Structure 1
Amino acid sequence: MKRWIALVVIIALAGAAAGYVIDAPFAPFATGPWRQTATFLDDATAALVSLVGRGGAIAAPLLVGAVLCGLTLFAARKADGKQDGESLPGPVWRPEASAEEQAAEQNDRSGPDRRSLASSMPDPEDLLVRPVVLVRKARSRSRDWFDDTSWLGGLPKLAGIPWPRDRNGAPLPFAAQIDLARIAAAFPGNPLPGNPLPEAGSLAFFVGTGAVVPVPAGDHEFSRPPAHLPPAYDEGGFPLPRHASRLSHEFFPFWPVEAVSLALPEALRDPHRPGDEPAIEQAMTERLAQRYPLRNGPLTVQEPVERVWWHGALHLANLFHVALDEASLQIDRRESRTDGARDDVELLGADPDTTPLRLEAARRAVDREDARLHACRMQHAALEQVTQAMDEFTRERDPWAPLTSEESTVLQDVLVHVNRDCADLVRHHVPQTLADLAAFSLRAMVSGPPEALAQVSDAELAHINAAYRLANLHQHQIFGPGGSRRAMGEDHRRDVLLLQLAYDDMMEWNWGDMGLYQFWISPEDLANRRWDRASLTFEEG
């Protein structure tokens, strides 16, 4: 709607400006304070006519208006198409309904049972009163980590339901599966009409282009990932990469969650008063802080590092390979720029109008490009040697075993060497310290298989369980306004927040700009259990 208002305003202003040029001057007919304004506009019109002619002066505002309209439509289209980007979702995946399903849908919409169910649903804004936060559970050595009924990451349990795919047939990355009985249990004593979700079964959530899959209650096995499942994340990097690499993983770390409902203070329970979203989120944060320490940043390891695991060394070897692959492209670009600089010197030398000063500047440019190319080749050769050495150093190592003191010293020397002598090639790939590698391994081990957890000390496990169970800034959440001001304030003011997935380094959910994935559904579709009509948005945090 806003884009059309902007277009109407632009067209009206352009037309008014062109009309003014046609009928000017106006100052002789103006009186009072308008005479000075009209005189200024008449002078500007006269100057424009003298510059481009009367026809050009009439066409100029129309041309400017057309350009502004085009830019407005392009910006709107880009905003709509933002979901097609590398890390942003596109349109929600919806399976095509059969003729029988379409007929059943028409009956559902008109049937008295469905109408009564929809009319009994609470106002979606009433769900601001009791948002439900999904808190990652503490890791315990004494219980089966993979036997919980609500979890983030890992694989889904779809009970034979086909894995959802996008419009091109690519399987979607799995993000979470929530036991609806656990959500219902978080609502005892709720002053609202009731929990609007079913009280049995579960919902499985997929990102990418987005899908919500209802799963019937029962003891199901984890689903086998389909062939050609796109990577969920690059280890130590970013989620939903466009292309797979040796750093890629098909699914996120597995982490069970518990549902914690948060009743808000009376002052924030007016569901029809907009603008309370920041205060609501602050109230949620204060209530969470009474039970869980809030995050003050990503998981870190303090220097001096006591232990480093071969998992980190193997990761570093993979990082060297990735940097080496991209280094070859950098050399190609450097060679191309050097060849271009030499061509410029030849062209200038053949031009009799070229001044000696300009020719000397072009030759200095060749020298600079030559020096950069030589440095890049030297760094590439050094990186090749250290990559081969790291491959030998890490060959057939147990990833969960710690390095000895001497081996840690070798690894430290390697880090110093590559960050000093191969800086241009590894700057965006390789960590600076052993502490970075140790923190990376701890994240993987604390949510990993039992043999990985066994290498985490009691002190390290207790620290992570105590201080790192919440997301980094906003929370993983069901109901409430969520962390997105724009989505709740505009597009989804009347919708229900089915699930919010926040930035969380422990989950490898390093969403861009501390962003949020949010699944929304209208009250009518929620009442009719039309999960296929849920929409997925991505907002900056």
Structure 2
Amino acid sequence: MLDTILTFVATLLVAVFAMIMLLAGVETWNGAMIEPLLLRRTLLLLIPIAGIGLAFLRARRSLRKARAKREPADSCENARSAGQARPAADLARRRTKAAGRDVAAQMVAESQARAKRSDDAHRAKIRAHVERKAPPTSDAGRAAIALAARACLAIRHVFPPRHPQRSMSFFGSVPLAPDDLDWPMIHNRKGLLEPLTFMGQVDLGALPDGPARSLLPAHGYLYFFAPMSGNFDGDASHFVVRYVEGKARKDWGPQHNPGFLEPIDGAENARYRYPWLTWHDKPEKVYPRFYPRIEIELGWLEDVAEVEEGDPDAGDGFPWEVAKQRRRQQLVAFHGAPVSWNDALSAHAKPTDRLWIPFEGFPTNRRTADVLLGYLKSYIKEETIGIKARLDTLPARFEDPEGSRLSALLERYAQFEKDHWRIFQLATTGEAQRGNALDENQRTELLALLEELRAGALPEGVLERHYMHKRLPMVLNEWIARAAVEGAESALTDPDGIAQLPDAVVEALRYRHSVLRDPDFSKNGSYAQHQMLGRGVAIQDAAELMAPEHILLLQLRWDNALDWHMGDAGAAQYWIRPADLAARRFENTVLTFESH
């Protein structure tokens, strides 16, 4: 600051002195004082003012330079000061971060603890239900068991399907229910909660009057679930039924499962059930999680009583023969006449010297194309993987003649897919588009592709397959047959799709939807029937063990149209104690699975 003051004073003195000397020099040059006198006085007044201004400017400039010199020093000093203070600041910052991490860790720990408590509570609930001690069956309960055994509600498919669907009773698809439907979730073998597969629902208010109608609620809906993914143990046989009271409301709708539902029968078995889907990079993501939806109807079939003497039919044969005949008459009256196998959509004995076209208008829709092209893409994928695996075993793949041959095969497969890329796009359509009809160009192009395959457009397969007829072109008719069935079934679910199918195709599908099938039914009376109440079919010992204390709430048998196998022609049976049925405690229903 002192330097600035000295600069100001020195500049002022020098400036004033210089301007006075300048004025004196001008007057000496003129030889007289500056006239007029007012001008001379004004100049004398301006000399100190100008000096002060110049001194101020010089002093300010000097001050700026001094500050500029001090800033680096101040920066260094500040840095040294900050360096001394940084450990404390860093420590505080680390403590703040650590506190934040502790809070986050605490929140995670609390969330995990809540999840574990919920998980443990769910396990305890299941275990308590499994291990609960049921009270002895009362006399009223035994009367209810006897009443339920004397008659059953037989179930049949509505075929051909009605459009629009008129009933809230159906198998497959997803439940039509309120948003708060409690979808059963059970711990699988990995200890993870997994939703069960939806099997079907029954509208109790639409049930016809009959001998045991009083046992079931007058209104409401029953929803049946089952552990179909193959990932469960015995605990999954409990909590498999849900009951919703009252009538359906306008805010009800399709309810999808609350978690990730595993493929039907599990991913490992699904690759054999849906081989046309294995071409996907992750086929386990696209395997079906739900069964196809089929509307059902229910009707009463009474247990046939013993034939006594004096009975009008007593003379028709032995009592058991008469009873069997009466039973058959009831079955035919409800299910219709037995249906014989129709091979119109079967690959058996179909021509191989020309392209087999199952019916006029084939291929019908995107579903048909999806299956056909899926088979082909999966076949190419399998062969390509097999060729690459064989190439990897060759020590000198580029010099070896076998390596050259296999490399040429890879190029042929790649070129084949490139040449037909447009038609292959039909295999990537979404589920919502699979019922759409193919246009004439798509149908023509797809038939041309099938003819190329029949004529041997692809090279002979190198992959070792268990059966020679699984190679192209021998396997082509099997692909066509499966695609024809899948496409026709898909068309039946759409009111516009039915028009795509000839009547003969609909009749060929009837066998898949029928309970009574010849020659088995006419020959020995055998059949596989879904039913509510009545006597459960005895396959091993479950029916005999459960029947004395339980009522058969529902029995599901194998069903081609629904793709239900139930093991080897087995049955899924839902059993409930009469006291639980009377109190509407359907959550206490127990499921048994048996097969041959």
TM-score (norm 1): 0.59
Whole-angstrom distance in 1 between the partners of 2:200 and 2:184: 14
Give the structure 2 partner of residue 438 of structure 1: 484
Q: How far apart are 1:478 and its partner, in Å?
A: 1.3
> One-letter code of the match for 1:395?
Q
Give the structure 1 partner of residue 263 of structure 2: 231
Aligned residue-pair number: 395
> One-letter code of the match for 1:221?
G
Tell me if the contact between 1:415 and 1:432 (Cα under 8 Å) persists in the aligned partners: no
* Residue number among 438, 447, 450 corresponding to 2:495 in the alignment: 450
Structure 2 matches for 1:270-285, cutoff 5 A? 284=327
Q: Does 1:172 align with 2:196?
A: yes
Structure 2 matches for 1:190-229, cutoff 5 A? 190=211, 195-208=214-227, 209-210=236-237, 211-219=240-248, 220-229=252-261
> One-letter code of the match for 1:212?
V
> One-letter code of the match for 1:265?
V
Q: Does 1:313 align with 2:369?
A: yes
Tell me if the contact between 1:519 and 1:537 (Cα under 8 Å) persists in the aligned partners: yes
1:213-244 deviation per Cα after TM superposition (whole angstroms, max 9, x unaligned): 112222232213434222347599269x9995
Q: How far apart are 1:212 and its partner, in Å?
A: 0.8
Give the structure 1 partner of residue 140 of structure 2: 119
Tell me if the contact between 1:324 and 1:380 (Cα under 8 Å) persists in the aligned partners: no
The structure-2 alpha-carbon separation of the partners of 1:408 and 1:325, relative to structure 1 and needing over 3 Å to count, comes to: closer
Give the structure 2 partner of residue 538 of structure 1: 593
The structure-2 alpha-carbon separation of the partners of 1:500 and 1:286, relative to structure 1 and needing over 3 Å to count, comes to: same
- Identify the structure with bigger relative contact order (alpha carbons < 8 Å, sequence gap 6+): 1
> One-letter code of the match for 1:222?
P
Whose radius of gyration is greater, 1 or 2? Answer: 2
* Residue number among 423, 429, 443 corresponding to 1:393 in the alignment: 423
Gaps of at least 5 residues in structure 1 are 1-93, 270-275, 343-369
Give the structure 2 partner of residue 43 of structure 1: none
Give the structure 2 partner of residue 62 of structure 1: none
Give the structure 2 partner of residue 250 of structure 1: 289
Q: How far apart are 1:253 and its partner, in Å?
A: 1.1
The structure-2 alpha-carbon separation of the partners of 1:109 and 1:297, relative to structure 1 and needing over 3 Å to count, comes to: same
The structure-2 alpha-carbon separation of the partners of 1:237 and 1:296, relative to structure 1 and needing over 3 Å to count, comes to: farther
Identity of aligned residues (%): 21
> One-letter code of the match for 1:497?
L
Q: How far apart are 1:169 and its partner, in Å?
A: 1.3
The structure-2 alpha-carbon separation of the partners of 1:455 and 1:423, relative to structure 1 and needing over 3 Å to count, comes to: farther
1:54-105 deviation per Cα after TM superposition (whole angstroms, max 9, x unaligned): xxxxxxxxxxxxxxxxxxxxxxxxxxxxxxxxxxxxxxxx95688xxx9xxx
Whole-angstrom distance in 2 between the partners of 1:379 and 1:278: 65
Q: Does 1:293 align with 2:372?
A: no
Secondary structure of 2:176's counterpart equals coil
The structure-2 alpha-carbon separation of the partners of 1:406 and 1:319, relative to structure 1 and needing over 3 Å to count, comes to: closer
Give the structure 2 partner of residue 156 of structure 1: 175
> One-letter code of the match for 1:506?
A
Gaps of at least 5 residues in structure 2 are 1-120, 228-235, 309-318, 351-356, 518-526
The structure-2 alpha-carbon separation of the partners of 1:324 and 1:518, relative to structure 1 and needing over 3 Å to count, comes to: farther
Aligned-residue CA RMSD (Å): 4.8
Q: How far apart are 1:258 and its partner, in Å?
A: 0.7
Tell me if the contact between 1:379 and 1:425 (Cα under 8 Å) persists in the aligned partners: no
1:245-275 deviation per Cα after TM superposition (whole angstroms, max 9, x unaligned): 3652232111111102112321299xxxxxx
Give the structure 1 partner of residue 152 of structure 2: 131
Tell me if the contact between 1:124 and 1:496 (Cα under 8 Å) persists in the aligned partners: yes
Tell me if the contact between 1:497 and 1:520 (Cα under 8 Å) persists in the aligned partners: yes
> One-letter code of the match for 1:151?
F
The structure-2 alpha-carbon separation of the partners of 1:96 and 1:203, relative to structure 1 and needing over 3 Å to count, comes to: farther
1:425-483 deviation per Cα after TM superposition (whole angstroms, max 9, x unaligned): 7839966343332122112221x233434433455446656983438741111122333
Whole-angstrom distance in 2 between the partners of 1:508 and 1:326: 25
The structure-2 alpha-carbon separation of the partners of 1:471 and 1:308, relative to structure 1 and needing over 3 Å to count, comes to: farther
The structure-2 alpha-carbon separation of the partners of 1:324 and 1:440, relative to structure 1 and needing over 3 Å to count, comes to: same
> One-letter code of the match for 2:216?
L
Whole-angstrom distance in 1 between the partners of 2:458 and 2:209: 50
